[in-house]
Amino acid sequence: MKRLVDPLLAEFNHEAHTTRRLLERLPDDKLGWKPHEKSMTLGKLATHLAEIPAFFTSILVDETTPAGGGAARPAATTRDEILAAFEGAIARFTASLGERTDAQMLERWRFVRGEQVIVELPRVAAVRALVLSHSIHHRGQLSVYLRLLDIPVPRIYGPSADEPM
């Protein structure tokens, strides 16, 4: 019988492959660029995307994760730093996810700010929402940044204008 984590691991690995293809296209000389005054820089967005799996490994091991719990890290200064952070985050997340039992994945997890509960979900749903969907959201932003910089955008769920199927 399959475990609850098996399809999550397959989906995560598929999405990580696609994310890696976008991160590999980052130009070191444009990491400080941003499309709008209110936007993150390319480097900050890519750094955040790369670190999502590592930060949210807490979903798998803690009952509660505080918002803003980690010190704000500066944006990476090179594509290689971002890719290294991403590879480390993938390794930590998949190792921890692979160790979880079905019972653990059905336990409730909370994301909090002080006494305020921001979200409370079963771990399996939290992984989908805060790791997978959150990563996909920021990956979409990253693909727009690349397009605006005239950097070829890889296919994601289908062909792109730069990369047919």
Q: Which of 75, 76, 78, 79 is nearest to 23 (CA)?
A: 79
The band of 1, judged by pLDDT with boundaries at 50, 70 and 90, is low
Question: What is the reported pTM?
Answer: 0.93
Mean pLDDT of the chain: 94
Cβ neighbours around 139 below 10 Å, total: 20
Q: What is the pLDDT of residues 58-95, one digit of tens each?
A: 999 999 988 875 556 777 899 999 999 999 999 999 99
| 3.30.70.270, 1.10.40.50, 1.20.120.450, 3.40.50.300: CATH of 5-148 | 1.20.120.450
Q: Domains of the chain: which residue ranges?
A: 5-148
Q: Measure the CA–CA gap between 163 and 3, rounded to whole angstroms.
A: 35
| Token duo for residue 119 | 């979200």
What is the tens place of the pLDDT at every residue in 38-60? Answer: 999 999 999 999 999 998 899 99
Return d(Cα 160, Cα 19) in angstroms, integer: 14
Q: For the residues of 70-104, what is the DSSP string, one character each?
A: SPPPPPPSSHHHHHHHHHHHHHHHHHHHHT--HHH
> To 10 degrees, the CA torsion angle through 130, 54, 118, 139?
-40
